[in-house]
Amino acid sequence: MPTNFPGSVDTFSVKVDNVSDVMAADVNNLQDAMVAVQNRIGTTAAPNFVTMTGDQTIGGIKTFSSSPVAPGLNLTSAFGGGNGVYNGNGDAASSTQANLQIRSWFGIGFSPSISGQPVPQNENAVWIDTRTGNLSARGNITSTGGQFVGNGAGLTNVNATNVTGTAGQLGYSVNSTIGFGGRGGPEVTGHGGGAAAMMSFHRPGIFAVNFGLDGNDIAVGGWSFGNVSWRILHQGNWRGIIGAANVGEVGTYALMRGPVSISTGATVAGSSLVFANAAGGTLGSSGAGTWRCMGVTDTPLGDATTTLWLRIS
């Protein structure tokens, strides 16, 4: 009979000496089966290799004495289609060529094989959307000795609690003048409507401060300074800031009558000064805080002890 291999395994009856008649057909059947096996293996197979063609079903665990060689591994039972590991299409590392390709219908996930960890078993710690190229992670993405570099527009829409680097840069300006009518470089955005847009500057263990846009003005404060927000005086706001200052506030000047023989730059308590006019007449109201002498006082005459003072605290 002709062989059934490879469709099914052939069966042969047991022959017994001096009992069974060995017919030519019996020998032919064995020959047919052997030829079918040889055709399946092929004549070009190396002595230590077996070449298989077509679909194969291999059950159980197989142990190889050396690394198996295959053109690819197609995981047909995975969701979608075309999932697997395949030979690449070039000796390169780029968006179009690579030595090896891991293909997925939609996404590739990396999951822990142990339970009781921050990432639950059978859930993904890192996942890649192979359609868009987006990579996501539950933990930190760390670069050791390298940089996170974007192509073209750079890294955009980075949403992270901390972006830490050493000897690095946030980016570069996109215009040559501060007066440019739009975003001129890296941007810090306030969190929610009306919130300050600020950065923090920190000398660990020594001092720290917040600096940025508070309201509609540049300000500094917070952290080591406490719960304060001090506007930065500049050419565009100095008139409003100085004009809004009340008499006797820190940073304001006043003609005041004070002690005798005070040199320029000396400081005295406001309680020893009295607001006055150029003729030395007083208003009878003492100052508060600490003041610096911006002129000089001389003899005990009224007009000679009146000069310009600056409140410094």
Domain regions of the chain by residue span: 1-53, 82-89+98-137, 197-240, 247-311
Q: Checking phi first, is residue 179 left (phi over 0); if not, alpha (psi -120 to 50) or beta?
A: alpha
Half-sphere exposure of 229 (CA within 13 A, CB side): 13
Which of 249, 294, 288 lies closest to 272, judged by CA? 288
Q: Comparing C-alpha atoms, which of 182, 160, 187 is closest to residue 172?
A: 187
Tell whether pTM > 0.75. no
pLDDT at 184 over 80: yes
Mean pLDDT for the chain? Answer: 80
Indicate the pLDDT class of residue 258, thresholds 50, 70 and 90: confident
Banded model confidence at residue 80, pLDDT cuts 50, 70, 90: confident
CA distance 123 to 110: 8
The mean-pLDDT minimum among 12-26, 211-225, 252-266 falls in 12-26
Least confident of 22-26, 80-84, 270-274, 305-309: 22-26
pLDDT score recorded for residue 149: 62
